[in-house]
Chains A and B, each alone.
Chain A
């Protein structure tokens, strides 16, 4: 800044300028008082200096004078103003003077013009600022510019703040010393206004500024010697050294450095800083901050732990191409053989196979064996008891408890002063009470223990006695067991004393207890007595009252027979009786304890006895022994349920012990999941039998060979063995008693003594496989491993493992990172405290929850919002979630909860038979998985989903659009263009309507003329089986005469019902009516969800029913005919068409399993076909049930139809074919769009189809085609459009000389030229090895040639250029059929009948529904006939029979036939006939159901529903 100033001296100075000048002076003043600092070399400077020095002195004097003068002049400031113009004058004057002289003169003048200055100053006071006009340097600046030598900058800047600060305070001094000219004026000013220092200085130079322009000072360039500068720099700068700072400097005096880490405190890892840098910093800090605040106790700079993680938390971003290549580079690795063991497979990285488990099987002891003799049983029992005794003896709990009791008694004795027991302090009393209760406890325990000891001893003796008597009885010995009871003599007297003392002590304690208890009871008694008395009193009073009341109102008495419970008069407790207590105690002691005069008995069991040799034994025993000898035992070792080795077969010893002493070294690859020993027994030369399995625990990883103890594992078997010799057998009751009482059932059991341990390798490393990726054996691997990777997540649950891991991995317990873990471990290992069975990840979460989770989950609104956001179907379109919980009905969730519940439960109620219920559930699951997959696919938007963009047009279109340019832009009468798809977002209920256009009908069956009722009705349509089956309405001839419209054969009208909304046309007349009406039905989407996916899953079916309207005259009285018309309209169902509300919708974004080349070919083929004939269906690939794309021909393959069907017409191929077609048609129809939510068209293979028993046209067609192929027909799958199915699949067969088209869903067939064929156009034909696309001009089956060998008519997929690659079929080799269960079908039949009857009654809520049993049974007999004839040619007989039986009834009914899928569809079908709508008062109904079972549970259901009206 200074330099700038010196250059731009004539610029207006900023306000800071003045202070700066002072600054300069200040610095200098500090120095050697030579001011301004002038290099000694400069002569001019020197001269100036001396001159200035003189002047200063003068000025000093003048200043003091002026000060006093000014003081006097203060009161008259006015005249000063007059002087101000003189400034200019002076300027010109001085301008001419040369340098030095000028300076002096100026100063002289200055002193002279002193008064002037004064005047100006006061003026200044009023108007301080505008003094320096812009563009001109201030006077002082000007002066400085020419006179000063500027100091080096750094010093200045350093001193600046200080200087500035002191300006105000040190003013006087400063000025006096340095700036003589100003000081004079200043001195006066100081009095006037002390703070205006800057201005003062400026004012002061007023007298000088006019000469500024004209000064020329010639001086040599400033130069500072390098030494000087260095010197100065040394003073100002500090260069920290790089030397290591000795520790003592960094620490306070006499303090030893302290290393926290050594003291076990956690310090963390310091960040890496170079040593030199650290030294520099330390030196610097020492210099700056002598307090050593920056140093820790260890003498190092304080540092936080290194915050930098050693590994990146983000994936490395590959920036350069090379690195990408490097990443993508593939490496050859040898294939690793898959070891089939899922989770515990040892990683391939580990050296395989060098893990070893040593299993030492030392022996086997049977604790029971079928060959045990009675003596053996007793011996085993004795041995067991003796073991028990030894174990108890070792622990000697009774003794311990006795000692404890003694100690407690002593403690009480010393604590209590027996003379004044109540005067003791509370605390003592308390402890004594505690002691006493403890004594009580201990005594109880001791008594129990003693009792056990004693009984054990008694039992041992008893068993031994039994054994002895048995030996005596059977006169031979089988076992070498021998029990010796050693008596230990005791000093009778001391013993007796001790016994007595013990008893006395106990008695006194008990007495005390009893007295306490007594006192307590007394207290209770008193209070209760008091209560009772009060109650008595009240009772008496009441009684009196009641008596009075009874006298007044005798009726009331009955009302309160027991107003209160009667209190029983309390009985006073009995006082304690010492004698009684004493007796009790003595009795108990006698029972439990050794009496003082008895010697101590010590049993000793030895095997010293001799066994009677076989030749001295009875025969039964000998045979037993021989049997034992025949037996041998071996063990199999199973590792992970695989046999790995077995022991040698050892004979069973007479003592039923087997010694193996074998060690098996198992080289293992898989982590041991189970280790099992199987005990096999061989009798003679027969095959070994498995006696039992023994599961061995897998040893801890610390158990290595040499350290493992031999352990015994018990086993037992549940085999039943009865032997014909002395052996007692197993699982068979036997008794020691003569009378057979006290039966025992013993099972074969025993113990295997073994040890399992990990082997130790050559170099001392245990050969332990890593415990699910852990390797405890190798420490080095552990160091970096974290807990999860080393012990596995399952290990985290096991606190012991975790603690062990923590100990082994040498976790720093003080590392804050490990704190939660350490706490957990400490909690877990301390044992007593509560160990939660969970691991909380966010401990603090709870504090931030504003409500508890339970509460949040309880909130219905929250739940609703969550479910909606998860797009749960029930809630996906829930609108306007209420604000408050209370406004949300509980039933909102009911459906959803029910669905959740039912997901696991197979609902048999709705489906009646379990197989179909299972299928329904399976379908549901497949559907869910497909939908889930689809939802994921839906997340990925394509551009086409978002943006409508025209495709790049080809030339013709481009040309056309060029042509369009000439067209009118906005024609007045615009032509309609193709409508864009309506997005389903804004639709709501009522917006969508289903329009059904009923045009006409042909060949409607007509009513029989009354007289010729046995005549054949007019030929029915071939399209719908129901129509064929429909029986004509029958009228009684008597009524016929009344009909005004009797000439009319039929009055049909059409009724369309959808979602239970019904619309019908007007009634037309005649068998070939023409309605030409449009019916409008409102459509409601499920859950108000109008999205495409939801719409396509609408299962509702549009029923189109044709009815015949019949008018009945119900006028009873002919006389009234003139005045009124009274007819009843009856309608008779003629038939129906069902159209499922589902459209086909392709969304194929699924993976494929086909060859890429083939797929490309299919795409090409389809594209070519679509280009030529966009409306013709061309199918090459389809999606199979697992969501993979499969080439279509793979579905076609000859498959065997059920043999049962083939046997019916063994010689008639055509009849068989029809039967097979019927069978296929009986498999229920379920459109894919329904089952898979309209997402895609899935094709299941024929076996899947038969298992599911549901499928759409394609599955039916594929199955039928496969059957035909197997029957030896030439058959193709025909893809095309039909009415009413839309795009569908039919089957085409070549019969001798003509083609037949089969509808797989109805089982009907049509000739190629049959006009009634529902198939309207043909897209392509599919055979087992090729696809042919129809490239003929026409696609109607009537007009095309089906000869696929003509390439001009049919474009084949595989041709010479692309030969058929021999694709394997996805179909099974053979279909397997189960015979259907006739009984189940019959049961189902009854249930359906019941359900339907109930439904019909439900539909007639206002009428009584009567059932005509007689008719029902007739119908029931008739239905099987219908099934047999497939619904044909039985009408006449049937009607005749019916008429015969129901002579005086008017009968109207129809048999319905359908495949069985679920009850709902049956109900719907019955509903749609409208039979229940008849409301003639005396109507009766008949309903029969017949189910015919076909193989594979395909059921054909016949329902005959009829209404009967009695003729009068």
Chain B
């Protein structure tokens, strides 16, 4: 079916937002969205999603499991601006106000196959102690104007954040025509990629 010289390549991502570890919080839900460059366009699937509220498991693990599926296909002409998934986790605070519990972002894996990613999450800090108190009290904590800023570098220097917990994501990545367009992202045989790649940057 493939034409001799494709003009776009396709990136299909499916998987799920598996679970999260937020030791102090419960009853969380998460939102995800994709941030991608100008040369990218989604062709199928959902770019954004909001999950159900999940409670902690009653066992040792205390895991918050969503198992919220992601399924989206992008087309692109340029690997610049490779899609990133941006996650933001929300949950009620002591007074029952919905507050943000964490932001995080990670690039969709480049190579085809199955990948597991654990993203550390963080929230912006209040500018002062008083602010912190009032925001705690009123339940209106500082939030990013747009969650997508966590996928960008611009303007981050004015913010201070605190890390909160982890979210584990599972990606199954399929690409099409990338090699034909000259982009080599992985091993030739994609059969041996069944093992999950090691998580990013921190001990599990």
Nearest chain B CB to A1181's CB is how many angstroms away? 26
- Whether B146 contacts A952 by the Cβ 8 Å rule is no
A881 CB-CB contact with B under 8 Å: yes
- Whether B77 contacts A881 by the Cβ 8 Å rule is yes
B4 CB-CB contact with A under 8 Å: no
A234 CB-CB contact with B under 8 Å: no
- Whether B38 contacts A947 by the Cβ 8 Å rule is no
- Whether B181 contacts A942 by the Cβ 8 Å rule is no
- Whether B146 contacts A985 by the Cβ 8 Å rule is yes
| Complex: A961 Cα to B158 Cα, angstroms | 29
B204 CB-CB contact with A under 8 Å: no
| Complex: A868 Cα to B80 Cα, angstroms | 13
| Complex: A961 Cα to B77 Cα, angstroms | 51
B96 contacts across to A, CB distance below 8 A: 969-970
- Pick from A878, A884, A947, A961: contact of B5, CB below 8 A: A884
| Complex: A943 Cα to B6 Cα, angstroms | 44
B69 CB-CB contact with A under 8 Å: no
A945 CB-CB contact with B under 8 Å: yes
Nearest chain B CB to A291's CB is how many angstroms away? 52
- Whether A949 contacts B142 by the Cβ 8 Å rule is yes
Instruction: Provide the main secondary structure of the chain B interface.
Output: loop
A549 CB-CB contact with B under 8 Å: no
A952 contacts across to B, CB distance below 8 A: 128, 130-131, 134
- Whether A961 contacts B39 by the Cβ 8 Å rule is no
| Complex: A985 Cα to B124 Cα, angstroms | 22
Nearest chain A CB to B7's CB is how many angstroms away? 5
Nearest chain B CB to A889's CB is how many angstroms away? 14
- Whether A941 contacts B155 by the Cβ 8 Å rule is yes
| Complex: A865 Cα to B39 Cα, angstroms | 10
Q: A965-B95, A983-B145 are in contact. Are A950 and B138 (CB under 8 A)?
A: yes
Max chain A Cβ within 10 angstroms of own Cβ: one of B124, B138, B181 = B138
| Complex: A952 Cα to B181 Cα, angstroms | 54
Closest to A965 in B: B95
A946 contacts across to B, CB distance below 8 A: 124, 144-145, 149, 155-156, 158-159
B158 contacts across to A, CB distance below 8 A: 941-943, 945-946
| Complex: A878 Cα to B77 Cα, angstroms | 12
A880 CB-CB contact with B under 8 Å: yes
Closest to B155 in A: A941
| Complex: A943 Cα to B142 Cα, angstroms | 10
B39 contacts across to A, CB distance below 8 A: 879-881
Interface residues on A, range: 20 to 34
| Complex: A882 Cα to B75 Cα, angstroms | 12
| Complex: A965 Cα to B159 Cα, angstroms | 29
Contacts of B32-73 to chain A: CB distance below 8 A: 38-41
Q: A887-B7, A946-B158 are in contact. Are A985 and B148 (CB under 8 A)?
A: yes
- Whether B78 contacts A948 by the Cβ 8 Å rule is no
- Pick from B78, B138, B159: contact of A961, CB below 8 A: B138
Contacts of A964-988 to chain B: CB distance below 8 A: 965, 969-970, 983, 985
B179 CB-CB contact with A under 8 Å: no
- Whether B7 contacts A947 by the Cβ 8 Å rule is no
| Complex: A961 Cα to B138 Cα, angstroms | 6
Closest to A942 in B: B158
Contact flags (1/0) for B1-15 with A, using CB distance below 8 Å? Answer: 000011110000000
A943 contacts across to B, CB distance below 8 A: 127, 158-159
Contacts of A853-888 to chain B: CB distance below 8 A: 865, 868, 877-884, 887
Nearest chain B CB to A1109's CB is how many angstroms away? 45
B163 CB-CB contact with A under 8 Å: no
| Complex: A939 Cα to B131 Cα, angstroms | 26
| Complex: A1250 Cα to B181 Cα, angstroms | 58
Contacts of B154-200 to chain A: CB distance below 8 A: 154-159, 181
Contact flags (1/0) for A926-940 with B, using CB distance below 8 Å? Answer: 000000000000010
Contact flags (1/0) for A794-838 with B, using CB distance below 8 Å? Answer: 000000000000000000000000000000000000000000000
| Complex: A1360 Cα to B96 Cα, angstroms | 53
| Complex: A1188 Cα to B139 Cα, angstroms | 41
Instruction: Provide the main secondary structure of the chain A interface.
Output: loop
A947 contacts across to B, CB distance below 8 A: 124, 142-145, 159
A996 contacts across to B, CB distance below 8 A: none
Nearest chain B CB to A867's CB is how many angstroms away? 12
| Complex: A868 Cα to B37 Cα, angstroms | 12
| Complex: A961 Cα to B134 Cα, angstroms | 10
- Whether B135 contacts A950 by the Cβ 8 Å rule is yes
- Whether B76 contacts A961 by the Cβ 8 Å rule is no
| Complex: A939 Cα to B158 Cα, angstroms | 12
- Whether A880 contacts B77 by the Cβ 8 Å rule is yes
- Pick from A948, A949, A970: contact of B127, CB below 8 A: A949
B84 CB-CB contact with A under 8 Å: no
B154 contacts across to A, CB distance below 8 A: 939, 941
Closest to A883 in B: B77
B97 CB-CB contact with A under 8 Å: yes
Closest to B161 in A: A947
A958 CB-CB contact with B under 8 Å: yes
- Whether B145 contacts A949 by the Cβ 8 Å rule is no
Closest to A983 in B: B146
- Whether A883 contacts B138 by the Cβ 8 Å rule is no
Contacts of A875-929 to chain B: CB distance below 8 A: 877-884, 887
Nearest chain B CB to A1317's CB is how many angstroms away? 40
Q: A947-B159, A949-B126, A949-B135 are in contact. Are A883 and B97 (CB under 8 A)?
A: no
Closest to A869 in B: B80
A1124 CB-CB contact with B under 8 Å: no
A312 CB-CB contact with B under 8 Å: no
| Complex: A952 Cα to B138 Cα, angstroms | 10
Nearest chain A CB to B126's CB is how many angstroms away? 7
Nearest chain A CB to B80's CB is how many angstroms away? 8
Closest to A948 in B: B143
B142 contacts across to A, CB distance below 8 A: 947-949
Nearest chain A CB to B54's CB is how many angstroms away? 17
- Pick from A880, A884, A983: contact of B38, CB below 8 A: A880
Contacts of B1-31 to chain A: CB distance below 8 A: 5-8
A953 CB-CB contact with B under 8 Å: yes
B124 contacts across to A, CB distance below 8 A: 946-947, 949
Max chain A Cβ within 10 angstroms of own Cβ: one of B39, B41, B92 = B39
- Whether A879 contacts B5 by the Cβ 8 Å rule is no
Q: A946-B144, A947-B159 are in contact. Are A882 and B127 (CB under 8 A)?
A: no
Closest to B130 in A: A952
- Whether A880 contacts B137 by the Cβ 8 Å rule is no
| Complex: A530 Cα to B96 Cα, angstroms | 111
| Complex: A882 Cα to B9 Cα, angstroms | 11
Q: A946-B144, A946-B155, A983-B146 are in contact. Are A884 and B7 (CB under 8 A)?
A: yes
B97 contacts across to A, CB distance below 8 A: 969
A868 contacts across to B, CB distance below 8 A: 38
Contacts of A704-732 to chain B: CB distance below 8 A: none
| Complex: A463 Cα to B131 Cα, angstroms | 105
| Complex: A1489 Cα to B128 Cα, angstroms | 67
A882 contacts across to B, CB distance below 8 A: 7, 77
B159 contacts across to A, CB distance below 8 A: 943, 946-947
Name 9 extra pairs, CB < 8 A, besides A939-B154, A946-B145.
A879-B38, A881-B39, A883-B6, A883-B78, A943-B127, A946-B149, A948-B142, A948-B145, A953-B138
A-B contact pairs, 30 of them (CB 8 A): A865-B78, A879-B39, A880-B38, A880-B40, A880-B76, A880-B77, A881-B38, A882-B7, A883-B6, A883-B7, A883-B78, A941-B158, A945-B145, A945-B155, A945-B158, A946-B149, A946-B156, A946-B158, A946-B159, A947-B124, A947-B159, A950-B134, A958-B134, A958-B137, A961-B137, A969-B92, A969-B96, A969-B97, A983-B145, A983-B146
Interface residues of B (CB under 8 A from A): 5-8, 38-41, 76-78, 80, 92, 95-97, 124, 126-128, 130-131, 134-135, 137-138, 140, 142-146, 148-149, 154-159, 181
Interface residues of A (CB under 8 A from B): 865, 868, 877-884, 887, 939, 941-943, 945-950, 952-953, 958, 961, 965, 969-970, 983, 985
Task: List the 3 closest A-B pairs by CB distance, nearest first.
Answer: A941-B155, A969-B96, A949-B142
